Amino acid sequence: MAPLQKRALISLLMGLALAIALVVVFVTRDIMGFRLIVYALWIGVPVVYLVLMNLTRLSKLKQIDERDKLIKDRAPKIQWLSVIFTLVVWYIVLNDLYWDQGQLPVVYLTFIFISTLIISTLAESLGILIGYWRMNRNG
């Protein structure tokens, strides 16, 4: 497994864990220190992303070849499209739920931003993994 592929897989698993944590926080918000956990997720997601996708790459730079670079360069498009679709889904769902009131609770802003961050992290990792899978399949 290529170093970039391995990193993408770890990043994907971490992103999934954070996404599950977000759902758990949302479900159990009356029991737990809701605000503190939300702040921890706010900081945790970008830090995990930064460490896995940027900082650790520096030491392994020599192991990255042209194929890795090509896959890495293609992943941001998938990442951006995923963010756009996430926002569109939020817009449709919230509009549908609060159509009669005509206004949305501000608390959703936090969830929208955290989910966008998580989806963005997941999508880049997924984009890299799909890139390797397609390249191995097509040669």
- The verdict on 73 binding another protein (CB under 8 A) reads yes
Q: Which of 2, 10, 21, 87 binds another protein (CB under 8 A)?
A: 87
Phi-psi region of 75 (alpha: psi -120 to 50; beta: other; left: phi over 0): alpha
Structure-token pair, residue 85: 């679709």
CA–CA separation, 120 vs 21, rounded Å? 16
C-alpha to C-alpha distance for 117 and 24, rounded to whole angstroms: 17
Closer residue to another protein (CB): 5 or 86 = 86
Q: Tell the smallest beta-carbon distance from residue 101 to another protein (Å).
A: 8
Binding positions for another protein, rule: CB under 8 A: 70, 72-74, 76-77, 79-80, 83-84, 87-88, 90-91, 94-95, 98, 101-106, 108-109, 112-113, 116, 120
